[in-house]
Chains A and B, each alone.
Chain A
Amino acid sequence: MNFFHKAASSLDVPEIIDWKKSGKKIVGYTCSYLPPELFYAAGVLPVRLRGVETDGLDIGDAYYGPFVCSYPKRILQLAGKGRYNFLDGAVITPGCDAMRRLDECWRKAGDDHPGILPGFFHFFDAPHKDEAHGFAWFVEEIRSLMEKIREYFGVEITEERLLEAIQLYNRGRRLLSDLEALRCNPAPPVSGADAFAAVLAGSVTPRDLYTRALEKWIAQLDSEKTDYRNRKRLMLVGSVNDDIELVRLMENDSGALVVAENLCFGVRAAGGLVAETGDPVEALARRYLGESICPRMFGKYSERLARLKETIQQHRVDGVVMQNIRFCDLHGAENALFERDLEKIGVPCLRIEREYGPLVETGRIKMRIGAFIERIQTR
C-alpha cells in the first residue's frame, strides 16, 4: 500500500526518480483524453501532471487571471518553481478553457523563469465530439503526436510496441475492475482512500511496476477481514481531484466509506478496455474519445447520468457527494443536473464547491459531509 500512497501523495515518487536516473525520458500530460500508451510504447514514462504540494500561488496567479480554477494554476506554480524540471516533455490538452491555456501560461512563464519549459511541448487538440469527423480528427492528432515523439525522442512507435502497451494498460484496467467489484461488496475490504490511492498511482508510475503492485495488493484483500462493514456508502464525483486527503476527510470519524468515484483521476478515466484487435491507433481513439466520460463532451449528459446510476446501483451507494472546484463551470453545472435527476429517484446528493489544492477548508467540508451523513442516516 505504501507504493500507492507515496506515488499518490507526492511529486517525489521514487519510481519516477529511478526512471530518470536510468537516463530514460519522462513526459507530463494534463488530461485523461490523452492516451499515455503512446509514450509508454516509445519507452517514455507518461506522468499525469498534478498540483500537489504547492505552498503558494504567486506564479500561477501572475499569469492566470483571478477568475480561473486553481488546478492549472497549481500545475503552473509547480512548474514555475522548478518542481517539474525532471520532465523532458509536456502535452497540454483542451480539457477545458483553463487547462488549454496552460499552454500559453507555461510558455510565457518559461520566458521569465528559464529552464521550466520542457524541450518537448505539444498541444494535443482533442475535439469535444465523437461523431465521425471528431473521431477522424482525434485519430490524426494521435498519429501526429506519434510522429512528433519520433522526431523529438528518436523512437519509432511500432504497431507491435503500441499493442504491447495497450495490453499492459488493459491488464491494469482489468485489475481495477476486480478492485471495483470488491468495493461493490456489502463489506468492502478496502477504504476509499486506499482504493483511490491505488488508482491514482497508476497515473504517475511505470505501468509494469504499477500493474505488478496492483496485482499483488488486490490478491491480499479479503472481505472476511474487513473493518468497513455497516458504514454509510458514499460516492465522490465532480471536478478533478487527486487528493486522497479529501477522501480521508469523508471517511475519518464519520461512519462513512467511499465505495465509488466518478472523477477524472479515478477509475472513470482508467476503466474501460482498449480493443486489442484492429488498428491500435483507432482502438485508442475509440476508448479515449468515445466514452464521453467528462462534461467536456457537451451534449452527452444522458450517457453520463446512465453511467452514474449504474455505478450507484452496483456499488450500493447511499449518497453522492458532488464537488466542483470554484470556477469549474462544466462540473458545477453537471453536478446540478445530476442532483436534480438523482434526488428524483431517491439518491441523496450533496453539492460542495471547493478549491483545488491543500485542504484549507477542512472544517467546512467536514461539517457539511457530517450533516449529509446525518441526513442519510435518518432515511
Chain B
Amino acid sequence: MRPEMREYNYDWMMGSTLKAASNLANGFPKEAALALNYIPYARGASKALMDEGDPGIQLFKLLSNYYENILLAHSRGKKLVATSFCFSPVIFFAMDIVPVCMEMMTGLGNILWKRGMSDYLDFAFEAGLPETSCSSQRGSMGAYLAGLGETIDFVLNNMAGACDTNANAFAFLSAYLNKPFYQMNSPNTIGDPRSEAYHLADYSAMIRFLEEQTGEKLDYDRLAEILAEVEIQDELITDVEEFHMLKPTPLTPLDNLILYVGRFMFSGRVEYTNVLKALYQKALPKARAGISGLRSGEEKLRVLMIYIDHYTFDFNFWKWFEENGVAHIGSQLSHHFRDTVPYAADLPGSVYSVDTSSPAAMLNTVAQMNARGPMVRSIRGPYDGPFMWLEETLTLARHFSADCAVFNGTPGCRNTWSNNKLMARDLEKAGIPTLILNDDAFDDRVENWDATRERMEEFFTIRGLL
C-alpha cells in the first residue's frame, strides 16, 4: 500500500467525500456546477447522481448517512458489524447495530476514486486473501485489515453454500482481526419446507449470537416497526418494478443502482423509503406518458444483467447505457422477491411474505427474507434447479421483455464461473442472445473499462442488436 494511503482513515475519507458531495445539491444549480470544478476526481460521479434528480440526490444523502453512522457508531454506544450485501440489514436496525457492508463500500470506492480500491485490494492480498478471491469484499476489507477503518466489533455472513468465496473472506476477516463470527448457511434448495425450517433455525441461532454481542435482547416491537417500514418499501418497489416492465421503461439505468444500494444499506429505514418515493415520483409521469426514462427518449434495446453491474469509475457503466439508448432492465441485485411483485407467481419458492402478527411470525419473516437476498436466493442450488438462476433469469427476461442478457461478475466468483457457460448456452437456446464479460466488476486493472465497453459494443453489433 502506498504510504500516503496509510495516513488516512478509509471510513473518514469516504464519509467526508460523501458528506461534501451530498451537500452539492443544496445550493443553486450554478453554485453546484461551480463546485464541481473544484472536485476533479469526484466530479463525474457527483454529476451523474445529481443529474438523476431527486432520487440521485437522496441517494447521496443516504450514502453520507451510512458513513456517518459508521464513523459515530462507537461514540453513540453502538456496535459495528462487518457484513455482506446479501444480508438484509433490517435485523441490525431492529437491534441498534450499525452494519458495515463490505461489497457496497468497495463498489462506491471504485466509482468515486480514480484509482479505485486498488491499494486496499492489494493490501488484502498481502494480508493473505488470495489475489484470485472475490474483489467485492477484498477492496474495502483491505482497509479494515490494514487497521484503516473503524474498529469492527464482530462479523456476520450468510453466504456459505451460496458463495463460499464470500463466506471465506468474512471468515478470514474474523480470524485475522480476532473478532467473533457467525456464519449462516444455505441449503441447496429454496422454498421447500425443509430448507425454510433450516433457515429459521439458522436465523434464530444468529439472533442469539447478536444478543450475546450486544448484551441486548431483540426487541420485537422495534422489529415490528422496521417491518412496517419494509411493507411500505416493498409496495413502492413493486410499483417501480411494474414501471420497469413497461416498454419503454420510464426508469433510467442508474435507477437500478439507486434501488438496490438503498435496499442493501437502509432496508427498513425511512431514509430508504424517501429514496423509493423519489424514484416513483420521477418515473410516474413518464410511465403514464409511455416515455422512455433514457435522456435520449428512445429505447433501442433492453438488456438484462443476469448477475451484477460493473462498478467502474464515474458510473461509466450506467452512462454507457444512457449514451447508447439502451435500457438497463435490472440485475440479480435490483430485482426484488416480495410475494407482491408481478413475477412472484412464476417463482413461488423465491419470494417471501411479511407477517407481523406474532414474534415467531416476525422471526420467520426476516429469516425467509434474508434467505431471498441476491445470490443466496438463486445461485445456491444447481443453476437449472427449481427457482434457481436459469428459471429466475428466464422468468425475468419474459416479464421485463429482455432483448438480450449480459453476465458481468468478478473472476473471484467460483460459483458463477463454474456454470455461466451452461447458463449462456441455455439462454441462447431460449432465444436470448447472451454475452459473458471477462472483466472484474470491482477492479479495472483486470480489464479496463474501455476494453469492457468495446466487448459489449462488439457483441451488440455482431448480434445485430444495436
Interface residues of A (CB under 8 A from B): 62-69, 72, 94, 96-98, 100-101, 103-105, 107-108, 123, 125, 127-129, 131-134, 137, 140, 295-296, 298-299, 301-302, 324, 326-330, 332-337, 339-340, 353
Contact = CB atoms under 8 A, between A and B. Distances in A.
Given A302-B175, A337-B172, A65 B418 contact: yes
B414 A97 contact: yes
Nearest to A329: B133
B132 interface: yes
Q: Lowest 8 A-B CB distances belong to which pairs?
A: A336-B128, A101-B418, A65-B417, A332-B130, A133-B201, A97-B414, A128-B160, A298-B171
Nearest to A330: B168
Interface in B147-179: 157, 160-161, 163-165, 167-172, 174-176
Given A67-B417, A127-B161, A301-B175, A333 B187 contact: no
B422 A108 contact: yes
B16 to A, nearest CB: 32
Contact of B417 (A68, A103, A107, A131): A68
Best-buried of A66, A298, A334 by chain B (most CB within 10 Å): A298
Contacts of A128: 160-161, 164, 167, 183, 185
Contacts, number: 145
B129 to A, nearest CB: 5
A170 B62 CA distance: 59
A104 B169 contact: no
B417 A298 contact: no
Interface residues of B, number: 50
A65 to B, nearest CB: 3
Given A67-B414, A101-B418, A133-B201, A127 B187 contact: yes
Contact of B422 (A69, A104, A299, A332): A104
Contact of B175 (A97, A326, A337): A337
B128 A333 contact: yes
A125 B195 CA distance: 11
Given A128-B183, A129-B160, A98 B414 contact: yes
Nearest to A94: B161
Chain A CB within 10 A, most for which of B133, B201, B418: B418
A333 B412 contact: no
Nearest to B180: A299
Contacts of B420: 65
Nearest to A335: B128
B188 interface: yes
Interface of B: 127-130, 132-134, 157, 160-161, 163-165, 167-172, 174-176, 181-183, 185, 187-188, 194, 198, 201-202, 205, 382-384, 411-422, 425, 438
Nearest to A123: B188
A329 B410 CA distance: 14
Contacts of A131: 205
B188 A125 contact: yes
Nearest to A140: B194
Contacts of B169: 329, 333
B160 A67 contact: no
Contacts of B160: 128-129, 298
A298 B168 contact: yes
Contact of B127 (A69, A134, A336): A336
Given A295-B168, A298-B183, A333 B418 contact: no
B370 to A, nearest CB: 15
12 contacts: A64-B417, A64-B418, A97-B165, A97-B418, A105-B419, A128-B161, A133-B198, A301-B171, A326-B132, A329-B132, A330-B164, A332-B132
A97 B163 CA distance: 7
A213 B172 CA distance: 41
A324 B414 contact: no
Nearest to B415: A97
Contacts of A97: 163-165, 414-415, 418
Nearest to B128: A336
A65 B420 CA distance: 7
Contacts of B413: 67
